[in-house]
Structure 1
Amino acid sequence: MSHAQEPSVADDELAPTQTAGYKPGEKKTLDEYAQLDAEDESLARWKASLGIGASGAGPTPNAPKLTLHSLSLVSPTAPGGAVSINLEQGKEQLEALRKNPLVVKEGVEYNVKIRFSVGSDILSGLKYVQVVKRAGVTVDRMEEMIGSYGPKAEPYEKNFASNEAPSGMLARSGTNSVRSRVIDDDGTVYADWSWAFKIAKDW
């Protein structure tokens, strides 16, 4: 999933916002989390939400820490409810995403949704960062909290806040280049890819 860096988007644009006074906690293994104070009720609930200690839960041996399956632009007006990108394609197909933009109907409400799996460790403080450029100029930046997730056989889905697609002749006149990244509070990049979309009169 990780590609060569696209020169048009600087790394600092894709860096997550740091919370004032926040210091990322020490990373722990699944076993270390499982052995934390079992009498702490709030901690027990948090561990249960990540699947720690649940029967049948646990890491998949040799699995990637995070696997992204798809990115979708979800809208009730879209055919089938969403237009999606398969992020499990080979490198050449993923490179082609920049040349084959998704089509978004002007003026519609939509939201970004990602589908992903966590395989071998607890991932905490994950964020999704997206930078949109037109003709080399940044026109939008989105940063959304994904959260903390433990290993699980079934994929997770995360929906982000709604946006309204621009409208008008100017909006329809070009392609929007997007660079997306999944990153944590420590600055570890789990996924980094480029794609594109264009605004049209209809889906």
Structure 2
Amino acid sequence: MSAPHDEADDFATNTTPGYKPSAVKSLDEYKQLDANDESLARWKASLGITGDAAPGDTSKPKITVLSLELVSPTLPTGKPIKVDIQNTAQLRALKETPIQVKEGADVFITFTVNHSIVTGARYIQVVKRGGIKVEKVDAMLGSYGVQAEPRRVSVVQDEFPSGMLARGTYSVKSRVTDFDGGIFAEWEWLFKIGKEW
């Protein structure tokens, strides 16, 4: 008899043995960190941490996930299938009506960083068919500072299963998290793999 399955195991992030994330720092602490180190100054500038950087909107979560996109050159419309993660009605519909996909499509996440520094943001996707886990994607989104302009990052590249046996309906649970253990978005959706869109 097998042990009961713990959903937390599905979302355990891939780790590097011996690696321990540093303690959480505020934006001001990052600004003061090794002020005379030229390479660290360049790294901080890449995150948008400068002497005049705005602290951002602390009334919002650190990350706001805006959309999920499925992209393929074979889409009949030529445009990606875009899901608005902030639209609760659309998310509710995705749990009941699968997105029709053709074998081999790419997935992108678009998000904004509202305040602070996000370290090790990642997208985790657990795919099940008939209640059995068939795939897990654990994609690093990166580390970012506050920026008004949304960021669009590829998280799955051509990894939808292919072949006749792969065709059918799959359930997916997606989550966006970071090294600090924050969960910034979580949603469920269905996709159906067919020979055509």
TM over 0.5: yes
Partner of 1:186: 180
Measure the CA separation in 1 of the matches of 2:92 and 2:53.
37
Per-residue deviation, 1:61: 4.5
1:111 to 91, 106, 111: 106
Alignment of 1:42-121 (within 5 A): 42-53=39-50, 57-78=54-75, 79-90=77-88, 92-106=89-103, 108=104, 110-121=105-116
Alignment of 1:157-196 (within 5 A): 157-172=152-167, 174-196=168-190
Partner of 1:15: 12
Unaligned runs of 5+ in 1: 1-7
Measure the CA separation in 2 of the matches of 1:81 and 1:23.
41
Q: Which whole-Å deviations, capped at 9, do the CAs of 1:55-74 have from their partners, x for residues lacking one? A: 56541242321111101122
The normalised TM-score by structure 1 is 0.86
Which contiguous aligned blocks of 4+ residues in structure 1 show a shift greater than 6 angstroms? none
Partner of 1:4: none
Q: Which whole-Å deviations, capped at 9, do the CAs of 1:90-130 have from their partners, x for residues lacking one? A: 2x432221112111113x3x221100011021110111111
Measure the CA separation in 2 of the matches of 1:103 and 1:161.
16
What is the DSSP-based 3-state SS (H/G/I as helix, E as strand, rest coil) of the residue aligned with 1:80? Answer: coil
Q: Which whole-Å deviations, capped at 9, do the CAs of 1:115-166 have from their partners, x for residues lacking one? A: 0011021110111111100000111111111110111111111113522433
Q: What is the RMSD computed on CA atoms of the aligned residues?
A: 2.0
The normalised TM-score by structure 2 is 0.89
Measure the CA separation in 2 of the matches of 1:153 and 1:14.
29
Greater RCO (CA < 8 Å, at least 6 residues apart): 1
Measure the CA separation in 2 of the matches of 1:129 and 1:43.
29
Q: Look up the equivalent residue of 1:101 and give its one-letter code.
A: P
Tell whether the 8 Å contact from 1:73 to 1:111 is kept in structure 2 after alignment: yes
